[in-house]
Chain A
Amino acid sequence: MSRDRETNTPSTLFFIQRLSRYQPLRFTACACCWILYHSWHLIPGLLAKAFFDILEGHPTAGLTFESIVVLILVAGLAKVGTIYGGAITWAPLIFKSQGLLRRNLLTRILDLPGAKALPWSIGEAISTLRDDVEAAGEMTGWVFNALAGLIFAVGGIAILLYVNARVTLLVFIPIAIVMTLSYIARTRLEHVREQSRLATAEVTGSIGEIFYAVQAIQVAGAESNIVAHLRKLGDVRQQMMLRDQLLGLSLDAIFANTANLGAGLTLLVAASAMRTDAFTIGDFALFATYLMQVASYTQFFGYLIRTYRQSGVSFKRAVALLQGASPASLVAYHPLYLRGRLPATTSPINQERDRLNTLEVSGLTLRYPGSEGGIENVSFEIKRGELTVITGRIGSGKTTLLRAMLGLLEPQAGEIRWNNRTVEQPAHFFVAPRTAYTAQVPTLLSGTLRENILLGLHCDNDTLERAIHHAVLDRDIAKLPDGLETLVGPRGMKLSGGQIQRTAAARMFVRAPEILIFDDLSSALDIETEILLWQRLIEQEITCLAVSHRPMVLAKADQILILEDGKISARGTLKELLRTSPEMQQLYIRTPSDGFS
């Protein structure tokens, strides 16, 4: 079980080992309970043999049939004890394993450039975080389960060989052959399993999209069509799953049959011996009892093999979600803070060298493969206290420029210098308190308004009030029944678009960044609110980089950068550009003298 050559993911066993060692004490306790539990299964067969021997008149070791009855009772109750011990250790063991996997995956996702954090749709990502991790986490106990099963199997065979080697061999060799054949069928199963998980992810993904898009669906009256589409996806998944299950069930059936086959073989092979008492009924009872256990244990081993294989697929998908991080990081050990204090969210302190003097961008390039969108060779400079505005037609690359600069996407080329020092990792550098950024469509989390503005930031009430004032949110908060403590619904649906944007703005302002960066912040706001916001913003004399088309903003800008097809076609103040740039004139053309737009 070495490295999988195809995809370079470490073997499933590697992950299982790592998960096993995460909670050594609990793991050991759990292991002991389950190993004991499995070993206990050797006892009934021995008691059965002793029983029949007593009835036939050859008692063993002074046992009477009454004492057998008592022994059975006692053994049974002791078994319950092992299960209880196993259960109370198993639940937290698995939970913490799954917690660890989810923690590592989430941390990695949040570590990636913000605009490219997921390789698939959100629904599919949730499917991986939920189902694949569940399957993977359940493997934590795999090692001791396998060990326990082996102990039983080896112990059982040893006992049977001791009783009658010939019968044992003649019965168990055919059984072994059948098991091997079924084992070979495993490869086919894995391939099918992958497909069915993909189909499942598509269904979950689709369901997710539907619930995110309910209003649009209702507006379009497309309820039936959407559901028809979902049904289709469901049918595809059904086919995959049935194929998957048929193979699984066939394997199960073969295993289950092996036991009866074994019993029948025993009868066949021992026929002559039984006529002469060389093989007693007690012996047969022993064999039959163990063979009945063999049924469930071959299924158990089959289950172990199957889950091993299937979890391999789950681990692979989890690793895919890591998007390039080392697969070992999936199972790297980290605390889960289930007890004691939760990790503090420290607020980063502004250092002297973080104080912005100049921000220089040179040669920034990001072309999307397969399309003509993106930016190319963009260079500009921002000085402290300046308002820089990026403008251009739809699709000219404005959002891409901001994202590439801030490390929310990875550019193909370009250099960024902060106070003349090169920024090595924009994604980690351009965060609060150096910069604050609001996207075109900001999102909020479920929680209070206060939580959404602060997002874990420690700040005094004055700073918060000021930020709210600058975001022109004070009036709205006054009108809300619970003010700042108002719970914001899923995706901020209780707030209007403008209120969400301004909450996002307050979120930015409260971090007192060196430079404010926003992508068309004002698009959801009406004139008056927007004017107010810009006025309050400009009063603060803060460095600002924004995408906007508002003539008022363009007029106030110290520097305007016009993007055309991803390249900066002109730069300067509004006055200069209206004189020299035809594109600026085009963009500005819709502001006749009777009003602003």
Chain B
Amino acid sequence: MKKILLREYWQFLWRYLAPQRKATLFMVVLLLTSIVLQLIGPQVARSFIDAAQQRAPEQTLIWAAIVFILVSIAQQAMNLLATYWSERVSWTATNALRADLVAHLIRLDLGFYKTRTPGELIERVDGDVNALAKFFSSFVVKLVGNVLLLIGILVALSLIDLRLGLAFTTLSLLALVVLKRVRQFALPYIRKDREWSAIFFGYIGEVLTSTEDLRSNGAVPYAMRRFFGYLRNWMPVMRRARVLGDTVWMTAIAIFAVGDAMSYWFGGSLYRGGSVSLGVVYVVIAYITMLAEPIETIRVQLQELQRADAGITRVRELLEITSKLRNGPYSIPSEGALSVEFRGVSFAYDDGAPPSDDMAEERKTVLKNVSFKVEAKHMLGLVGRTGSGKTTIARLLFRFYDPQDGQVCVDGVDLRQANIAALRSRIGLVTQDVQLFEASLRDNITFFDASIRDQQVLAVLETLGLHSWLERLPDQLDTLVSGAKLSAGEAQLIALARVLLKDPGLIILDEASSRLDPATEALLDQALGRLLKSRTVIIIAHRLMTLERADEILILEHGQVIEHGSREQLITDPRSTFAELRRAGMGEVLL
């Protein structure tokens, strides 16, 4: 567990506060003014008291009182503005951080997401960053401001009597050191509390996604049982975190009790010694009483710092995770169909655990020495059982992973040398699982790209034959879409619209047609036919009918190519596996 040094905090802060230099400066000036005014207050009271003791005219006393009131009003106003400004700065900074964090995370490898639930990530990105927001806004005004105030008071005390100043400087420093130690002791427990919070809400997220499945399987008691299990494990962690968090406060109070006692002792002794007036005794006690608040606030801020500390650590951990893929220099051309070639590609999903024996190694390898080529503008039909490696081929083409052995080439270029963004802009993928956003239909199709005009979107929908469906929607392109309102088939069509909008040179249809009924599929087939003409297509299917328009067929089994050839050839060769499959299919249709 690393100890976060102040310097690292500062670096982190600086990155997000630097762009708001002016606002920050303004805030600092307001703050300083407010502190000065606060220090003046007790002095006005002192002159009042001394004047009263010396039986000064009433007019003088009244003036003193009025000045006192004005000073306090001005001080509060400055403080308010300073705090508001710091909130502003904080929000801007943390919004930027949040967006940066999300931007960083969504560019990570898919392997990252296998071990983390979305709920957990939400807790990290939103929860942790929110904790940081409080830290950013409090830091300058509350923390730094109070430190300055503290110094001001100690100086003022020293001016009255050096021993006073020394004693209380020692006490203040002691207080801060002890508080810091106590805080650090509590830190790991606080962190653990946040971890459990993330796990808990990760689980809640899963349950909320699975309500249909849980209900219909009568698994609600099971889901609740697990819920209680998590609560039970979380509670002692949380309790310890809270109680240890409060020990800082308790320590502070014990120290103040000592401080107060000391102040009365000093004050009383000085007065008895005849060196100060009663007004000064009052000021001494007033200033020392004033010490409590900044130290308390610093204490509270340190607690916030605890949360922010834990938050910063976790955010930094996330930011340090990098993609294993290295971007290459080569940019795939932006027009025209692309050719695809696999040369001796072997691949296994790396879950981090080394295989324990040869059998395990064999079981984990998804692709074994796969080689094939698809010319530009050709259509390849990919057939194989579930788990034979078809989806993996799509993922490798997208460069979600790099193969352990061999080369994956698009347009003749090894993807390890390819620029990832350029590559992905030229490949379209349609899968069975379509992710939709709570946003307009337009935003769902264009992925929030405001530069794409409505005409383009409409043209794409028309090509897909969805014009009449679009007309029936209440707000057409502005209709709010959510996963529950659209049928899986309609969601598929949106996925196709997304792809067509990209004008890709290579399209991978991964079992795309499976959710559509044959009649509607016929409609789509026509549209697809037009569009697939000048592009390279890889259709991953397990329905022979889908492969009717393919030029070539590739059959995969257990990650190996067992047959590859032109469709014509394979059909006419009675010994080919493809022909066998078709024959087997025939038997099913007997009426």
Contact = CB atoms under 8 A, between A and B. Distances in A.
Q: Is this pair of chains taken from one and the same complex?
A: yes
Contacts of A253: 76-77, 79-80
A481 B121 contact: no
A216 interface: yes
Nearest to B293: A296
A336 B84 CA distance: 41
Nearest to A480: B363
CB-based closest 7 A-B pairs: A76-B257, A526-B542, A456-B222, A498-B386, A260-B72, A597-B545, A213-B435
Nearest to A239: B91
Interface string B350-390: 01010110001001100000000000000000011111000
A87 B243 contact: yes
Given A114-B216, A219-B398, A490-B116, A527 B544 contact: yes
Given A76-B261, A245-B87, A590-B545, 15 more contacts: A52-B282, A88-B239, A99-B235, A213-B435, A219-B398, A234-B98, A253-B76, A253-B79, A271-B62, A337-B231, A431-B215, A437-B217, A446-B206, A481-B360, A587-B517
B92 A238 contact: yes
A220 interface: yes
Interface stretch (B122-130, B309-317, B528-536): B122-130
21 contacts: A52-B281, A84-B246, A102-B227, A103-B227, A115-B484, A122-B209, A207-B126, A215-B431, A230-B98, A267-B61, A267-B64, A342-B228, A372-B472, A408-B212, A431-B216, A438-B216, A455-B223, A456-B221, A490-B113, A491-B117, A555-B590
A87 B251 CA distance: 13
Contact of B107 (A223, A399, A408, A524): A223
Interface string B125-149: 1110000000000000000000000
B221 A346 contact: yes
A486 to B, nearest CB: 10
B537 interface: no
A511 B217 contact: yes
Interface stretch (B15-23, B179-187, B264-272, B334-342): B264-272
A524 B221 contact: no
A18 to B, nearest CB: 19
B2 interface: no
A220 B225 contact: no
A65 interface: yes
Interface string A112-143: 11111110011101100110000000000000
A292 interface: yes
Contacts of A87: 242-243, 246, 250
Nearest to A124: B438
Interface string A180-211: 00000000000000000000000111111111
A179 B425 CA distance: 61
Interface stretch (A89-97, A155-163, A324-332, A538-546): A89-97
Q: Helix, strand, loop or mixed for chain A's interface?
A: helix
Contacts of B210: 443-445
B516 interface: yes
B66 interface: yes
Interface in A270-292: 271-272, 274-275, 281, 284-285, 288-289, 292
A271 B545 contact: no
A267 B68 contact: yes
A356 interface: no
A225 B62 contact: no
Contact of A76 (B256, B546, B590): B256
A80 B278 CA distance: 31
A575 B238 CA distance: 66
B421 interface: yes
Interface string B422-454: 001101010111111111000100111110000
Contact of B208 (A122, A440, A527, A592): A122
B214 interface: yes
Interface centre among A130, A370, A528 (most CB of B within 10 A): A130
Interface in B52-89: 52-53, 55-56, 58, 61-62, 64-66, 68-69, 72-73, 75-77, 79-80, 83-84, 87-88
B229 interface: yes
A592 B243 CA distance: 73
A55 B215 CA distance: 77
Nearest to B100: A227
A242 interface: yes
A380 interface: no
B557 to A, nearest CB: 10
Contacts of A90: 242
A27 B520 CA distance: 63
A529 to B, nearest CB: 6
Contacts of B516: 394
A130 B95 contact: no
A139 B139 CA distance: 27
A256 B75 CA distance: 10
A170 interface: no
B326 interface: no
A574 B590 CA distance: 11
A275 B49 CA distance: 10
Nearest to B199: A446
A249 B107 contact: no
Nearest to B110: A215
Interface residues of B, number: 181
Interface in A404-423: 406, 408
Interface stretch (A66-74, A145-153, A305-313): A66-74
Interface in A336-363: 336-339, 342-346, 348
A526 B433 contact: no
Interface residues of A, number: 201
A263 B214 contact: no
B168 interface: no
A221 B484 CA distance: 25
B218 A73 contact: no
B166 interface: no
A535 B416 CA distance: 45
A234 B218 contact: no
A342 B83 CA distance: 48
A379 interface: no
A586 interface: yes
B452 to A, nearest CB: 10
Nearest to A347: B218
A479 B363 CA distance: 6
Nearest to A259: B72
Contacts of B582: 594-595
Interface in B444-482: 446-450, 469, 472-474, 482
A524 B197 CA distance: 35
A123 B122 contact: yes
A217 interface: yes
A493 B58 CA distance: 82
A526 to B, nearest CB: 3
Contact of B76 (A92, A125, A256, A574): A256
Interface in A538-597: 549, 551-552, 555, 574-575, 578, 583, 586-597
Interface string A467-504: 00000000010011100000001110110111100001
A442 interface: yes
B202 to A, nearest CB: 7
B588 interface: yes
Contacts of B472: 371-372
B285 interface: yes
Contacts of B227: 102-103, 106
Contact of A126 (B53, B201, B351): B201
Contact of B114 (A114, A288, A481, A494): A494
A91 B515 contact: no
Contacts of A227: 99, 102-103, 106
Contacts of B322: none
A73 B243 contact: no
Nearest to A228: B448
B13 interface: no
Contacts of A70: 261
Nearest to A531: B588
